[in-house]
Amino acid sequence: AGVIRREDYTPPDWQVPEIALDFALDAAATRVRATLQVVRSSAHDQPLVLDGGGQTPLSVIVDGVAINDWRLEGGALIVPLSGAAHVVETEVEIAPERNTQLMGLYASGGNLCTQCEAEGFRRITFFPDRPDVLSVYTVRLAADKARYPVLLANGDPIAAGDLPDGRHWAEWRDPFPKPSYLFALVAGDLVANRATFTTMSGRDVALGIWVRAADLPKTEHALAALQTSMAWDERVYGREYDLDVFNIVAVDDFNFGAMENKGLNIFNSRYILADADTATDYDFDAIAAVVAHEYFHNWSGNRITCRDWFQLSLKEGFTVFRDQGFSADQGSAAVKRIEDVRGLRAAQFPEDAGPLAHPIRPDEYQEISNFYTATIYNKGAEVIRMIATILGPERFRAGTDLYFDRFDGTAATCEDFVASMEAGSGVDLSQFRLWYAQAGTPRVTASLHHDTGSDRATLTVSQRTPPTPGQPSKQPMVLPLKLKLFGAQTAQTLAPEQLVLLDQPTEHIVFEGVGERPILSINRGFSAPVVIETDRSAADLAFLSAHDDDPFARYEAMQQLMLDTLVESAANGTADHQAVIAAIAGTLDNAALDPAFIAEAVLLPSDAFVGDQMARVDPEAIFRAREALRADVGQRLAGRWRAAYDAAQVDRFEYTPAAKGLRRLKTVALGYIAASGVDDAAGLAFAQFEGADNMTDRQGALATLVAGESPERVAALDIFYNRYGDNALVLDKWFQVQALSSRADTLATVEELARHRDFTLANPNRARALIGAFSANQRAFHAADGAGYRFVADQLIALDKLNPQTAAKMIPPLGRWRRFDEARAALMRQELERIVATPGLSKDMFEQASKSLA
Ligand code: HT7
Ligand code: ZN
């Protein structure tokens, strides 16, 4: 029911080249008058169909005459029209303060703001709410001046003035035709941190980051990131900004991270506000990445938008790839790559292996909001990365230049992008297109055979993509794999790095002149988003962890060693830890390595990732195996952890790559010291907590304490709460750190926190901080009696009534039931069935929960 299919796409019957919107803003009752210039697209006799979000028009006027022969069908307004072009006016009244879904026009912290992607505009006014209808918008806003002194919309400001009764107005015009999902307005009591950016052609752009007055000091980092992003896009992609103003507004209630509305980005405040006392290094990095991401959308998303929502990855995958490149250029590219791959494996690989798997260009959906997924975003970015790898930098840039030239001002498709890449580079991407069509993570087995007689090594590589829902059998994909061979005795390069493009089920790659036993380094830089299975021994992985000159491959070898050890230990109750301990010791001892890299390399894989390697996930066994390894590594390398901890002290907070690396290593070392069980560990953590001049050190210490049993644990939580209780973003951290605790009593704590006076499901950040984090806590969520599943299902059912989109995004952990033992699987299914049977369930939740059961 209600399935929308990609193959059913038809162009719009009516275009709307111009729209004028007139808002009489008020939190309880906002009047919206829309004047649409509509033009028949071809010789058809279809009426004008304007999407609506449940409202009834107060009036419908065609060419200046009120009409009555309109009708409502499934929420849409049907207007019979006879000519080739008309002016259609509608008026509606909406109630922003009652909008708990946070889609359309809503109230947040006393201000009014909008979120229209994907289908929120129809909740504001009647309109063909689809991305291939592009219009020039003129917007007039009127509101009470004391309550809403600032009135912002897309484009450039053109006029403003006062009205009787303490009201005022402002008019904005955006000259660039845009789809309705990019519309935005903000009315509020806000102040701006302002700056100017001079573009490559010498135009001055007025930049403004708008926040509550008290938050102004926390906007410097975001503003600097915006300026850096604008310069980066000019230098790396030749893209210049096009309006005279660029505004960003931070709001506390937001379903997502941020939104790229033309000239008026609206952000979740967690991706704007930062200072050393309240934001971690992770937060600072995420702010720069999200500011860049939304800014980059001005070209990859706004100037060229999507023809339909099946093409979402056209803008999202490409823009994530662009923001990843930006972040890599701001610090350690190697560490950035490791972080991105860890994120892909944590979120996208499980999605690709589960009931909600879909290609980066899906074939069908029920509710498009459910498709803002790690697959569309992160696998989408990996697909663009593979194109960049195959083409090389110059040809890739020629391809993107051609794409921006050809499709500027249009609503394009993924096919348009790939065809531009081919035409710009001269490289045939026919078979590569399968990456857009096939879901699932390819599994690659690689085996290296050395023939000492002929000095020849032969690598046999096979690929297989497992079945996914609706796709029982798969064709071989194009896999760009970077390979290198090292000599086991001499550590010399036996075969330099090469890029091989695999496109067959099985292939043999021959290396000549290999005079000693070779060790294979494969998928260097994670050149293809695949799972690699090799027959490399623990000794070979240890060798690579010490000698590989590709930082990612070095990290990967270490991870594989750790994974093999943990899987064996979880399966058998015990394993030999020696190889892992030696590899960690070697990494800590290597003074040539960047501390940020060391911190990543010595971290054990997460419980969830260990579970992903097992035929049946056993959360308790994995937890025990991981704790045992952590304790052993902590004890056997005790001196090294103390030395690393002491060496990683930074005098004063500085947000630089070097200082960030030291802070990261310090908290990783603290974690191992605590895991070793020494008496002074809690004291050390508490001293770090109390002495910290920044949130990274404070939160790192708090997380260590919260996992333990010490009296300092309660003290630190209380101190943290009392210090930051009035800061919503930091309070989210307080909820989250407790929901992620590996303690046995976490479920009881989280149940209590759900009743805490500061907990509310109405704020998505708070809901995610408690419920989302708890569902990611493998030990607590998967409690054998099913109490964790029940708690989450109860919360999601309650949240669905307020905010279906946010609730539906938290279904996937329950959908992983096939990966668990029969008892847990039955308990998870039971909760999914209860959700599906809930009266009044949203379309969002129904799609996610019913597909998860199938
Ligand atoms: N393009 C934006 C997507 C988005 C969104 C989607 C569904 C519901 C609410 C939303 N807020 C923003 C964000 C981005 O990818 O840049
Ligand atoms: Zn985006």
**One-letter-per-residue 3-state SS of 760-810:** CCCCHHHHHHHHHHHHHCHHHHCCCCCHHHHHHHHHHHHHHHHCHHHHHCC
Rounded Cα–Cα distance for residues 625 and 16 (Å): 61
Rounded Cα–Cα distance for residues 393 and 388 (Å): 7
**23 token code pair:** 């808002």
**633 token code pair:** 């590594």
Tens of pLDDT along 430-451?
999 999 999 999 999 999 999 9
The atom number, within ligand 1, closest to the CA of 102 reads 9
Tens of pLDDT along 686-738?
999 999 999 999 999 999 999 999 999 999 999 999 999 999 999 999 999 99
In a domain, 575, yes or no: no
Give the mutation target among 103, 119, 256 for probing the ligand 1 site: most ligand atoms within 8 A of CB. 256
Q: Please tell me the number of the ligand nearest to residue 119's CA.
A: 1
Closest to 644 (Cα-Cα) out of 686, 609, 596, 693: 596
Rounded Cα–Cα distance for residues 562 and 539 (Å): 13
Residue linked to tokens 């030999």: 576
Assign residue 843 the CATH number of its domain: 1.25.50.10
Catalytic residue among 89, 294, 556, 831: 294
Tens of pLDDT along 492-502?
999 999 999 99
Residue linked to tokens 């970015």: 381
Tens of pLDDT along 291-318?
999 999 999 999 999 999 999 999 999 9
Residue 547 Cα to ligand 2 midpoint, Å, equals 38
Residue 369 Cα to ligand 1 midpoint, Å, equals 9
Residue linked to tokens 């708090």: 702
Q: Are residues 60 and 78 in the same domain?
A: yes
Nearest CA to ligand 1 atom 15: 316
In a domain, 218, yes or no: yes
Residue linked to tokens 């333990």: 708
pLDDT at position 379 is: 99
In 410-558, which ranges are E strands?
Answer: 411-412, 443-451, 456-464, 479-487, 493-502, 506-511, 518-522, 531-534
In a domain, 61, yes or no: yes
Residue 183 Cα to ligand 1 midpoint, Å, equals 13
Contact at 8 Å (CB) between 675 and 631? yes
pLDDT class for 177, splitting at 50, 70, 90?
A: very high
Identity of residue 49? V
Q: Which domain holds residue 207?
A: 12-269
Q: Are residues 488 and 421 in the same domain?
A: no
Residue 372 Cα to ligand 1 midpoint, Å, equals 7
Peptide bond into 118 cis (omega under 30): yes
**94 token code pair:** 């909406």
Tens of pLDDT along 771-795?
999 999 999 999 999 999 999 999 9
- For residue 616, report the phi and psi dihedrals to the nearest 5 degrees: -130, 130
pTM for the structure as a whole:
0.99
Q: Please tell me the number of the ligand nearest to residue 844's CA.
A: 1
Nearest CA to ligand 1 atom 7: 369
**761 token code pair:** 């499901």
Domain count, the chain: 4
Residue 1 reports pLDDT greater than 90: no
Residue 449 Cα to ligand 2 midpoint, Å, equals 44
Give the mutation target among 253, 261, 372, 375 for probing the ligand 1 site: most ligand atoms within 8 A of CB. 372
Residue 462 reports pLDDT greater than 80: yes
Q: Are residues 16 and 96 in the same domain?
A: yes
Rounded Cα–Cα distance for residues 801 and 799 (Å): 5
Residue linked to tokens 């959700």: 835
Residue 576, classified by CB atoms within 10 Å of its CB into exposed (0-12), middle (13-18) or buried (19+), is: exposed
Element housing 343 (H / E)? helix 333-343
Assign residue 507 the CATH number of its domain: 2.60.40.1840
Residue 319 Cα to ligand 2 midpoint, Å, equals 6
Residue 258 Cα to ligand 1 midpoint, Å, equals 6
For 111, 144, 170, 252, 301, the CA distances from 25, given in Å and listed in that order, are 11, 8, 12, 20, 29
Rounded Cα–Cα distance for residues 773 and 741 (Å): 10
- In the chain the first and final C-alpha atoms are separated, in Å, by 15
Contact at 8 Å (CB) between 171 and 138? yes
Q: Please tell me the number of the ligand nearest to residue 319's CA.
A: 2
In a domain, 510, yes or no: yes
Q: Are residues 449 and 430 in the same domain?
A: no
Q: Are residues 815 and 753 in the same domain?
A: yes
Identity of residue 355? P
Residue linked to tokens 């809503």: 106
Rounded Cα–Cα distance for residues 675 and 695 (Å): 22
Contact at 8 Å (CB) between 124 and 116? yes
Element housing 248 (H / E)? strand 245-251
Residue 834 reports pLDDT greater than 80: yes
**100 token code pair:** 């708990």
Nearest CA to ligand 1 atom 11: 256
Residue 24 reports pLDDT greater than 90: yes
Assign residue 387 the CATH number of its domain: 1.10.390.10
Q: Are residues 88 and 234 in the same domain?
A: yes
- For residue 602, report the phi and psi dihedrals to the nearest 5 degrees: -90, -5
Residue 17, C-beta contacts closer than 8 angstroms, at least 6 positions apart: 37, 39, 134, 135, 136, 177
Tens of pLDDT along 331-380?
999 999 999 999 999 999 999 999 999 999 999 999 999 999 999 999 99
Residue 257 Cα to ligand 1 midpoint, Å, equals 7
Residue 827, classified by CB atoms within 10 Å of its CB into exposed (0-12), middle (13-18) or buried (19+), is: buried
Residue 124 Cα to ligand 1 midpoint, Å, equals 17
| Pairing, β 411-412 against β 305-306 | parallel
Residue 267 Cα to ligand 1 midpoint, Å, equals 10
Closest to 61 (Cα-Cα) out of 81, 76, 41: 81
In a domain, 5, yes or no: no
Tens of pLDDT along 652-694?
999 999 999 999 999 999 999 999 999 999 999 999 999 999 9
Residue 627, classified by CB atoms within 10 Å of its CB into exposed (0-12), middle (13-18) or buried (19+), is: middle
**116 token code pair:** 């229209």
Give the mutation target among 101, 105, 108, 117 for probing the ligand 1 site: most ligand atoms within 8 A of CB. 117
Q: Are residues 461 and 365 in the same domain?
A: no
Rounded Cα–Cα distance for residues 671 and 429 (Å): 47
Residue 574, C-beta contacts closer than 8 angstroms, at least 6 positions apart: none
Nearest CA to ligand 1 atom 13: 259
Contact at 8 Å (CB) between 342 and 419? no
Q: Which of 269, 297, 332 is the last residue of a domain?
A: 269
- For residue 119, report the phi and psi dihedrals to the nearest 5 degrees: -130, 45
Tens of pLDDT along 30-67?
999 999 999 999 999 999 999 999 999 999 999 999 99
Q: Are residues 19 and 68 in the same domain?
A: yes
Tens of pLDDT along 155-164?
999 999 999 9
Q: Are residues 48 and 150 in the same domain?
A: yes
Closest to 764 (Cα-Cα) out of 252, 188, 343, 367: 252
In a domain, 696, yes or no: no
pLDDT averaged over the chain? Answer: 98
Handedness of CA 65, 66, 67, 71 (dihedral sign): positive
Q: In the chain, how many H helices and how many E strands? A: 30, 31
Tens of pLDDT along 380-403?
999 999 999 999 999 999 999 999
Contact at 8 Å (CB) between 581 and 632? yes
**304 token code pair:** 């060229």
Active site residue 234: no
Q: Which residues surround ligand 2, an ion (CB under 5 A)?
A: 316, 319
136 SS3 class:
strand
Contact at 8 Å (CB) between 414 and 313? yes
Q: Are residues 358 and 412 in the same domain?
A: yes
Nearest CA to ligand 1 atom 1: 259
According to DSSP, residue 375 is labeled I
Sheet holding 185-188, edge to edge: 104-108, 111-115, 185-188, 150-153
In a domain, 719, yes or no: no
Q: Are residues 71 and 42 in the same domain?
A: yes
Element housing 764 (H / E)? helix 764-767
The atom number, within ligand 1, closest to the CA of 369 reads 7
For 36, 80, 136, 137, 657, the CA distances from 127, given in Å and listed in that order, are 8, 15, 13, 13, 47
The atom number, within ligand 1, closest to the CA of 377 reads 15
Assign residue 33 the CATH number of its domain: 2.60.40.1730
- For residue 362, report the phi and psi dihedrals to the nearest 5 degrees: -65, 160
Q: Which of 406, 437, 468 is the last residue of a domain?
A: 437
Tens of pLDDT along 198-226?
999 999 999 999 999 999 999 999 999 99
Tens of pLDDT along 133-172?
999 999 999 999 999 999 999 999 999 999 999 999 999 9
Residue linked to tokens 């096009």: 242
Element housing 544 (H / E)? helix 538-547
Residue linked to tokens 């229209």: 116
Pocket lined around ligand 1, Cβ cut-off 6 Å: 115, 117-118, 255-256, 258-260, 293-294, 297, 316, 369, 372, 805
Q: Please tell me the number of the ligand nearest to residue 271's CA.
A: 1
Rounded Cα–Cα distance for residues 535 and 128 (Å): 56
Rounded Cα–Cα distance for residues 20 and 25 (Å): 16
Rounded Cα–Cα distance for residues 152 and 263 (Å): 10
| ipTM, 2 dp | 0.99
Helices 638-647 and 578-589 meet at what angle, rounded to 10? Answer: 30
Q: Please tell me the number of the ligand nearest to residue 371's CA.
A: 1
Contact at 8 Å (CB) between 279 and 273? yes
Q: Which of 387, 416, 437 is the last residue of a domain?
A: 437
In a domain, 683, yes or no: no
The atom number, within ligand 1, closest to the CA of 297 reads 16
Q: Are residues 433 and 449 in the same domain?
A: no
